[in-house]
Amino acid sequence: MLLKSTLKFFFKWTFLAVIIGIISGFTSGLFLYSLELVTDYREINQWIIYFLPFGGLFIGYGYYKFGKRVVEGNNLILEEYSNPRKKIPFRMAPMVLLGTLITHLFGGSAGREGTAIQMSTSIADQFTNLFSLDKEDRKIILICGISAGFASVFGTPLAGAIFAIEVLFFSKINFKIVFPTFLVAFIAYYTVEFLPVKHTHYSIPFIPAISFKMVLWTLLVGIPFGFAAMLFSKSTHWWGNMFAKYITFPPLRPIVGGSVIAFAIILMGTTQFIGLGIPTIVDSFQTQQLGYVFLLKILFTGFTLGAGFKGGEVTPLFFVGATLGSFLSFYIPLPTALLAGMGFVAVFSGATQTPIACTVMGMELFGIESGLFLGIACLISYLFSGRKGIYSTQMIDGVKGKIYNKFKKSTFENL
Q: Of 281, 382, 286, whose CA–CA distance to 335 is shortest?
A: 286
pLDDT tens for residues 163-187? 999 988 754 567 788 999 999 999 9
90 in a structural domain: yes
169 in a structural domain: yes
Q: Based on the domain organization, do 260 and 216 belong to the same domain?
A: yes
Q: Among 158, 193, 228, identify where a domain stops.
A: 193
CB 60 within 8 A of CB 255: yes
266 in a structural domain: yes
Q: Based on the domain organization, do 187 and 269 belong to the same domain?
A: no
Residue 107, helix vs strand vs coil = coil
| 247 phi, psi to nearest 5 deg | -125, 95
Q: Read off the CATH number of the domain in which 70 is found.
A: 1.10.3080.10
203 in a structural domain: no
389 in a structural domain: yes
Q: Based on the domain organization, do 280 and 372 belong to the same domain?
A: yes
Q: Based on the domain organization, do 188 and 217 belong to the same domain?
A: no
pTM for this one?
0.94
Q: What is the pLDDT of residue 413?
A: 45
What is the count of structural domains for the chain?
A: 2
Q: What is the pLDDT of residue 85?
A: 85
Q: Rounded to whole angstroms, how far apart are CA atoms 298 and 231?
A: 8
Q: Based on the domain organization, do 277 and 331 belong to the same domain?
A: yes
330 in a structural domain: yes
Burial of 104 (0-12, 13-18, 19+ CB in 10 A): buried
Q: Rounded to whole angstroms, how far apart are CA atoms 276 and 202?
A: 15
Q: Which domain holds residue 238?
A: 212-414
Neighbours of 282 (CB within 10 A): 16
Q: Based on the domain organization, do 168 and 231 belong to the same domain?
A: no
Q: Based on the domain organization, do 248 and 356 belong to the same domain?
A: yes
pLDDT tens for residues 346-393? 999 999 999 999 999 999 999 999 999 999 999 999 999 998 899 877
CB 165 within 8 A of CB 181: yes
The low-confidence residues of the chain, meaning pLDDT below 50, are 171, 412-413
CB 139 within 8 A of CB 81: yes
107 in a structural domain: yes
CB 114 within 8 A of CB 143: no
Q: Among 165, 193, 221, identify where a domain stops.
A: 193
Q: Based on the domain organization, do 25 and 146 belong to the same domain?
A: yes
Residues 6+ apart with CB under 8 A from 110: 100, 103, 104, 275, 276, 301, 304, 305, 309, 310, 311, 312, 313, 315, 316
Q: What is the pLDDT of residue 396?
A: 66
1 in a structural domain: no
Q: Based on the domain organization, do 164 and 231 belong to the same domain?
A: no
Neighbours of 72 (CB within 10 A): 18
Neighbours of 251 (CB within 10 A): 18
